């Protein structure tokens, strides 16, 4: 069975000192969490110091982005080797903020995914529709297109170990959560799409998270849905207490 992954996405929050203090507090609060994987995707400058704090804990680290080239003249970018060198197991690829604010395209994300797999980093690929797309009924086409474009040329053996995060853009940072039923409906559709693109084994193995205003008070009903394998948490991952409640949702 799939182990749920509760991952915090801190976005552009926390200096090194703040990051270290938070994980120091978090580690005791989640130490007894069973049957759940825990990760924090932190700003790149925080990761080196955090790596020392989370050694010998059940907290894994993730980067929020990386470039697909090995090295070279790409000012301000992070290579896969750099991400690994600070202890990251995961990397978020294609968050809607990267797509919308920084203009990342599906073609670029496909290259980033391939680089993650080539370097043994588990990508968390974000997909999801805007409010307009939901209201016009284009939500399924949008998500299917994003999947097909991002996964183009990627083997089933890689896909089964990756993570997908369904994040409806209208639910991010707005306090508007998709209802558990809306999230389940789309995540089930995503799993069926993976089955069509690959096979049933791959679709049953891949972890698919929900993200968008997940809080301690709504995580339980979200996690009660059969196809939802965890959460990608923004705002509520910034405080140890609220994130630990999400991790310890059972
Ligand atoms: O974008 C998100 C996680 O990647 C969700 O953010 P919020 O939990 O703040 O809505």
- Closest ligand 1 atom to 175 CA: 10
> What is the CB < 6 Å shell around ligand 1?
9, 95, 167, 172-173, 211-214, 232-236
What's the gap in Å between 140 CA and the centre of ligand 1?
A: 21
Q: Whose CA is nearest to atom 7 of ligand 1?
A: 234
pLDDT of 177 strictly over 90: no
- Report yes or no: 27 and 57 within 8 Å, Cβ to Cβ: yes
What are the catalytic residues?
A: 95, 167
Number of domains forming the structure of the chain: 1
The per-residue pLDDT for range 106-150, each reduced to its tens digit, is: 999 999 999 999 999 999 999 999 999 999 999 999 999 999 999
pLDDT of 1 strictly over 90: no
Q: How confident is the model at residue 218 (pLDDT cuts 50, 70, 90)?
A: very high
Q: What is the share, in percent, of the chain residues with pLDDT greater than 70?
A: 100
The per-residue pLDDT for range 184-213, each reduced to its tens digit, is: 999 999 999 999 999 999 999 999 999 999
- Report yes or no: 209 and 227 within 8 Å, Cβ to Cβ: no
170 known ligand binder: no
Domain residues for the domain of 75 are 5-247
137 known ligand binder: no
Looking at residue 175, its pLDDT comes to 81
The structure's pTM equals 0.98
The per-residue pLDDT for range 24-61, each reduced to its tens digit, is: 999 999 999 999 999 999 999 999 999 999 999 999 99
Looking at residue 78, its pLDDT comes to 98
213 known ligand binder: yes
What's the gap in Å between 73 CA and the centre of ligand 1?
A: 32
What's the gap in Å between 162 CA and the centre of ligand 1?
A: 19
Q: What average pLDDT does range 220-225 have in this prediction? A: 98
Domain harbouring 58, CATH code: 3.20.20.70
Residue 132, number of CB atoms within 10 A of its CB: 11
């Amino acid at each position: 069975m799939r182990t749920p992954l509760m991952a915090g996405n801190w976005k552009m929050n926390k200096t090194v000192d703040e990051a270290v203090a938070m994980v120091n507090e978090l580690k005791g609060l989640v130490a007894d969490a069973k049957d759940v994987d825990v990760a924090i995707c932190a700003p790149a400058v925080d990761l080196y110091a955090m790596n020392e704090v989370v050694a010998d804990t059940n907290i894994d680290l993730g980067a929020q982005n990386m470039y697909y080239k090995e090295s070279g003249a790409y000012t301000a970018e992070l290579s896969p080797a750099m991400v690994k060198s600070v202890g990251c197991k995961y990397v978020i690829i294609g968050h809607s903020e990267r797509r919308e604010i920084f203009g990342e395209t599906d073609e670029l994300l496909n290259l980033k995914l391939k680089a993650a797999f080539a370097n043994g980093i588990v990508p968390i690929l974000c997909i999801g529709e805007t409010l307009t797309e939901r209201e016009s009924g284009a939500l399924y086409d949008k998500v299917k297109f994003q999947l097909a474009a991002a996964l183009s040329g990627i083997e089933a053996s890689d896909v089964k170990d990756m993570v997908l995060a369904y994040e409806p853009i209208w639910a991010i940072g707005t306090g508007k959560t998709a209802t558990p039923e809306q999230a389940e409906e789309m995540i089930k559709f995503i799993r069926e799409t993976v089955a069509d693109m690959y096979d049933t084994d791959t679709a049953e193995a891949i972890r698919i998270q929900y993200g968008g205003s997940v809080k301690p008070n709504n995580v339980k009903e979200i996690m009660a849905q059969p196809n939802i394998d965890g959460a990608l948490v923004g705002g509520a991952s910034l405080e140890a207490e609220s994130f630990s409640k999400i991790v310890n949702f059972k």
